[in-house]
């Protein structure tokens, strides 16, 4: 009979039962059947556990770019905005905190007044508080991400805006990125096709599948190098607040071209539901002076002024 050790079957004895003809002849057939069944169960469980362990190591995180129905753009615009809202990143050039984004609306509903910048010397002065720095990828303080939704001839465009109290040259600053949604064949399903990124007096268009870092939400927000997921990682230039999908630390200043604006990942903020707000809080008649890319100005022109890459 197979030995029992504190209620646990001794599988070495079971193996002996299976391999010893004399033992099989002498033992009761019912007992050996029991041992055989127990041993086979042990092997099956061991193989299952092994397979699960291997799968957890070799299976990659599955890319998403989840489709959404076309009706969602009008039926649930906030849900559409949440589906691709960027994870924002901010850098700290020369040890200076950046001008962090904040609310463009005061508590009484009136327009926020920006402040004068101190170019290259204290870029964060007068801006909203970043929050504490605890090394790379420190959690930044929350701020609003405003959005507008526009129907273009061949796409829907969901544009996300950040407000800064100044940039390096003037009071108040608006910067944006726009997710271009394309229709999937003749179906009513739409997918993320491109990302437009605002520069100082310009923009860059990038296919969604080429974006260097994308995520599916909070669980994978620290992943790097994952492509074609649902939300882009966006890096904000420290001086002019141009928007990028890559970091650049080749210098610690604004550089001579938009692409040379310092940006890194000292702080991040992944917006949650209540921090993503439509533009209804913003009076379209408000004058932002040199900050010409405010939601009020961009909403009516995002389709005509900014080209997306051709569908491939």
Q: By percentage, how much of the chain surpasses pLDDT 90?
A: 50
Q: Are 270 and 229 in contact, with CB atoms under 8 Å apart?
A: no
Q: What's the 3-state SS for 213-265?
A: CEECCHHHCCCCCCCCCCEEEEEECCCCCCEECCCECCCCCCCCCHHHCCECC
Q: What is the pLDDT of the chain when averaged over all its residues?
A: 80
Cα–Cα distance, 86 to 234 (Å, whole number): 6
pLDDT (average), residues 99-124: 82
Q: Is the pLDDT of residue 296 over 60?
A: yes
Q: By percentage, how much of the chain surpasses pLDDT 70?
A: 75
Q: Is the pLDDT of residue 293 over 80?
A: yes
pLDDT (average), residues 209-230: 97
State the distance between the two ends of the chain, measured CA to CA, in whole angstroms: 70
Q: What's the 3-state SS for the chain?
A: CCCEECCEECHHHHHHHHHCHHHHHHCCHHHHHHHHHHHHHHHHHHHHHHHHHHHHHHCCCCCCCCCEECCHHHHCHHHHHHHCCCEEEECCHHHCCCCECECCECCCCCECCCCCCCCCCCCCCCCECCCCCCCCCEECCCCCEEEEEEECCCCEEEEEEEEEEECCCCEEEEEEEEEEEEECCCCCEEEEEEEEEEECCEEEEEEHHHCCCEECCHHHCCCCCCCCCCEEEEEECCCCCCEECCCECCCCCCCCCHHHCCECCCEEECCCHHHEEEHHHCCCCCCCCCCCCCHHHHCCCHHHHCCCCCCC
pLDDT at position 177 is 97
pLDDT at position 22 is 46
Q: Is the pLDDT of residue 91 over 50?
A: yes
- Per-residue model confidence as pLDDT tens digits over 12-32: 444 443 344 443 344 444 444
pLDDT at position 309 is 83
Predicted confidence band at 58 (pLDDT cuts at 50, 70, 90)? very low
**Better-scored residue on pLDDT, 124 or 146:** 146
pLDDT at position 43 is 43
Structure tokens given for 278:
């439509």
pLDDT at position 6 is 37
What are the backbone dihedrals phi and psi of residue 13, each rounded to the nearest 5 degrees, phi first? -65, -35
pLDDT at position 55 is 40
- Per-residue model confidence as pLDDT tens digits over 140-186: 999 999 999 999 999 999 999 999 987 766 788 899 999 999 999 99
- Per-residue model confidence as pLDDT tens digits over 233-273: 999 988 888 999 999 888 877 777 778 888 999 999 999 99
pLDDT at position 3 is 39
Cα–Cα distance, 119 to 116 (Å, whole number): 9
pLDDT at position 310 is 78
Q: Is the pLDDT of residue 223 over 70?
A: yes
């Amino acid at each position: 009979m197979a030995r029992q050790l504190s209620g646990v079957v001794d599988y070495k004895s079971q193996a002996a039962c299976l391999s010893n003809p004399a033992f099989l002849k002498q033992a009761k057939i019912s007992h050996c059947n029991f041992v055989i069944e127990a041993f086979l169960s042990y092997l099956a469980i061991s193989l299952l556990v092994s397979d699960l362990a291997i799968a957890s190591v070799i299976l990659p995180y599955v890319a998403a770019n989840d489709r959404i129905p076309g009706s969602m753009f009008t039926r649930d615009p906030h849900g559409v905005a949440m589906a691709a809202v960027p994870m924002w990143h901010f850098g700290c050039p020369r040890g200076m905190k950046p001008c962090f984004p904040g609310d463009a609306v005061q508590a009484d509903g009136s327009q926020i007044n920006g402040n004068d910048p101190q170019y290259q010397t204290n870029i964060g002065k007068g801006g909203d508080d970043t929050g504490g720095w605890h090394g790379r990828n420190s959690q930044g303080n929350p701020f609003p991400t405003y959005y507008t939704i526009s129907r273009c001839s061949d796409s829907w465009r969901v544009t996300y805006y950040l407000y800064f109290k100044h940039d390096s040259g003037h009071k108040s600053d608006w910067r944006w990125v726009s997710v271009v949604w394309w229709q999937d064949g003749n179906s009513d399903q739409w997918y993320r096709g491109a990302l437009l990124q605002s520069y100082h007096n310009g923009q860059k268009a990038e296919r969604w599948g080429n974006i260097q870092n994308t995520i599916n939400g909070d669980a994978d927000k620290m992943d790097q190098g994952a492509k074609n997921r649902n939300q882009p990682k966006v890096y904000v230039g420290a001086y002019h607040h141009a928007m990028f999908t890559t970091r650049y630390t080749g210098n610690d200043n604004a550089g001579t071209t938009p692409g040379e604006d310092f940006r890194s990942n000292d702080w991040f903020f992944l917006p949650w539901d209540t921090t993503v707000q439509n533009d209804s809080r913003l009076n379209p008649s408000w004058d932002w002076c040199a900050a010409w890319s405010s939601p009020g100005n961009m909403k009516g022109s995002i389709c005509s002024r900014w080209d997306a890459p051709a569908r491939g």
